[in-house]
Amino acid sequence: MHQPQTDLPQRLLTPGPTAVPPRVLEELAQPIIHHRTKQFREIFSDLSQQLQQILGTQGPVLSIAGSGTTAFEAAQVCLARPTSQVITIASGKFGERWQDVYDRYAEAMALEQVRINVPWGEPVPLAQVAQALCEHPRASVVTVVHSETSTATVNDVRSIADLTRRSDALLIVDGITSVGALACEMDVWGIDCLVTGSQKAMMLPPGLGFVGLGKQALYRLDQIDYALPVYNLDLRKWVASYQKADVPFTPPVPLVRAAKVACNMILEQGLDAVWQQTRRRAEGTRAALRAMGLRLISSHPSDSLTGAYYPDGVDDSIRHRLRKKHGIHLAGGQDGRGGCWKGKIFRISHMGYVDIEDTRAALLALESELREAGAIGSQTRALPAFDDVGG
């Protein structure tokens, strides 16, 4: 990593990519092995079993080279039935992206998209999902983002799964910032397809997408008797290889090895403990930001990350100062159809390899910069609020 002149410890608290533990980094430096070998198949098979535990499924969890978007697009294309309707829920930038993806395939697959767009910062109301399912009984797919990273908002995926279970539609969930951070239990909740990526809560560098497939999703793939408009992203190829502990195309071997180490760390700590730790960081951070007088961006915050509006007189240049003076890396806001948050908000991650001291350091630095900008009073002390719930 590029070191600034000051040599400050760098704390990467952006909600993806996130920091990678040393054990995982060391594994990445191992010599390359060939992937058509018993050695690789053993690693791959161990990883697949760990991923099943982390996603909470008995079904296959495919490891696909690419980013989270690659994996989600594959699920979208392969699971939608041609000439059907697809119900797409967007409550932020990523939900909107999945709408854009279906726009691209709409003609080739004769899809009609039924969009549910929610104002940014709000979760999707269940009644709207129920109504869409009722009005479109032939819908083949529902897509939803569990933890909408752009708005730091969590959707009630468990209840949405209860609704889709009673319909013919398969539920595809973007769990890219929920799996490994929040409870998200594929089989118990009845999620048909759960997608995540390596660089958020999984403590890995970018480069792998994971696709969990439930029984109904596998059945849907089996039923395909038409030409899919994709090749590399044809999940049937990945499932066929998976059954032989293999992958159809050359995998990013170092990442696969590292993924096994990272998943092992998550399972050693225990999923419940990981979720609880993430929640405490989030609750503490929300308390600290409120103590600073900041307004959160979400009415229904996700525990994976926290976002807040900048107070009057403060703009995005504060992130530059946090980086330069304190080595603290936060994310800013994004623009989309349901909101224009560029330059207006900041976001801080609680996912994965975040030490409590990282969070404290970020809050202290933020408080100090806000004070310097005259945006909070000299009496403000955010850390006691954090330690009450976060420590």
Binding positions for ligand PLP, rule: CB under 6 A: 16, 67-69, 94, 145, 149, 174, 176-177, 197, 200
Smallest distance, Å, CB 297 to ligand PLP?
15
Q: Which is nearer to ligand PLP, 285 or 349 (CB)?
A: 349
State the greatest distance between any 2 C-alpha atoms of the chain, in Å, as a whole number: 68
Q: How far apart are CA 52 and CA 186, in angstroms?
A: 9
Q: Which is nearer to ligand PLP, 68 or 360 (CB)?
A: 68
Q: What does each C-alpha distance from 277 to 165, 190, 362 come to in angstroms?
A: 31, 25, 17
Q: CB-side exposure of 171: number of CA atoms within 13 Å?
A: 27
Q: CB within 8 A of 337, min separation 6: which ones?
A: 90, 96, 117
Residues in the chain: 391
Smallest distance, Å, CB 254 to ligand PLP?
18
Smallest distance, Å, CB 73 to ligand PLP?
9
Q: Which is nearer to ligand PLP, 163 or 331 (CB)?
A: 331
Q: How far apart are CA 328 and CA 323, in angstroms?
A: 5
Q: Which is nearer to ligand PLP, 67 or 359 (CB)?
A: 67
Smallest distance, Å, CB 200 to ligand PLP?
6
Q: Which is nearer to ligand PLP, 326 or 347 (CB)?
A: 347
Q: Which is nearer to ligand PLP, 197 or 252 (CB)?
A: 197
Smallest distance, Å, CB 145 to ligand PLP?
5
Q: Which helix (H) or strand (E) holds 366?
A: helix 356-372
Chain residue at closest Cβ approach to ligand PLP: 68
Q: How far apart are CA 270 and CA 191, in angstroms?
A: 22
In degrees, to the nearest 5, what angle opens at C-alpha 222 toward C-alphas 216 and 227?
125
Smallest distance, Å, CB 14 to ligand PLP?
10
Q: How far apart are CA 207 and CA 144, in angstroms?
A: 22
Smallest distance, Å, CB 146 to ligand PLP?
8
Q: Which is nearer to ligand PLP, 72 or 105 (CB)?
A: 72
Q: Which helix (H) or strand (E) holds 134?
A: helix 126-135
Nearest to 177 by CA among 252, 93, 270, 75: 93
